[in-house]
Structure 1
Amino acid sequence: MTARWRITHEDDVARIAPARGPARMDLAVHAAWDVPAPRVEGLSRRRFRVEHARQIRQDLWRALQRTRGFVPVVEVMTDHSGEGAQGDGAVDAGAEAGAVRVMVTAGGRIDAPQAPRAAMEETVHALLSNPENRRRWRRHAARRARPRPGDAL
């Protein structure tokens, strides 16, 4: 059985894209939100991003699976400067003090010429804006990103 999804992690950005074909973003919706830092302390930042991306991709696919020619691509980046752990200590103006900023680009490749682009963008925006989805994604990512026995610090 071959892998259906390729997970890459470069420059603190986790990307989930199809294993075959280009990882194009013909459709892209951006969103950002804050996660309280105490809820992500001690977690693997890399796994936290990858698990966020995995859950968002699954929900994105469920929402748009009937759209012919759509192949989801999700990128997740986190900014931990709000917790004072990295960088020059500057906090993003949109971030709460002591919070981790999660920045997502969700969309994907559209291979069908007559795809309802506006409706698709609305659907993706609604998916990313839903606070219940964000809580579920955060809980799942935090659970999966906990340190495991034998992990290097």
Structure 2
Amino acid sequence: MAKARWHIVKDGQGGVTVSRKLPARFDFAVEATVPACNAVLLAQQVRQDMWRALQGLRGFLPVVEIVNDGNHCRIRAGGSVNGPLPLVHVQGLLLQILHDPVRRARWIMHAGRF
């Protein structure tokens, strides 16, 4: 079985976008902020949790964008969907994921707080 390929695009200022296809496209997205940490590791952790929750969504291609301002990382998580999109349900589920204190603690621990 072929290993899934993810595109990791760095912006040169500490930000990163992780997506399945290029160009990354957001049909829907939610945002959250966490303390500054390694943007690539944070994006991969968020993407994994988002994929676990939404893998049943037909045609879903996850995208996670991290913008690092020095003190905080702004997470924009979402993606594109090739098919019907139950927007309210999906956005609500992603908000729960991004604001879950247990997940956030795990992400920050894994991504190494600066």
- TM-score w.r.t. length of structure 1: 0.67
Per-residue CA deviations over 1:118-153 (Å, capped at 9, x if unaligned) read 10000111000111111100111118x9xxxxxxxx
Q: Which amino acid counterpart does residue 82 of structure 2 have in structure 1?
A: D
Q: Which amino acid counterpart does residue 68 of structure 2 have in structure 1?
A: T
1:127 to 84, 97, 107: 97
Structure possessing the higher radius of gyration over alpha carbons: 1
Q: Percent identity?
A: 38
Q: Which runs of 5+ in 2 are unaligned?
A: none
Tell me how large the CA RMSD over aligned residues is. 2.0
Q: Which amino acid counterpart does residue 14 of structure 1 have in structure 2?
A: V
Aligned counterparts, 1:75-90, within 5 A: 75-80=65-70
Q: Which runs of 5+ in 1 are unaligned?
A: 41-47, 81-99, 146-153
Give the CA deviation at 1:102: 1.7
Tell me whether 1:60 sits opposite 2:30 in the alignment: no
**Match of residue 18 from structure 2:** 16
**Equivalent pairs, count:** 112
Preserved CA contact (<8 Å) 2:19 2:63: yes
2:72 to 90, 101, 105: 101
Give the CA deviation at 1:76: 0.9
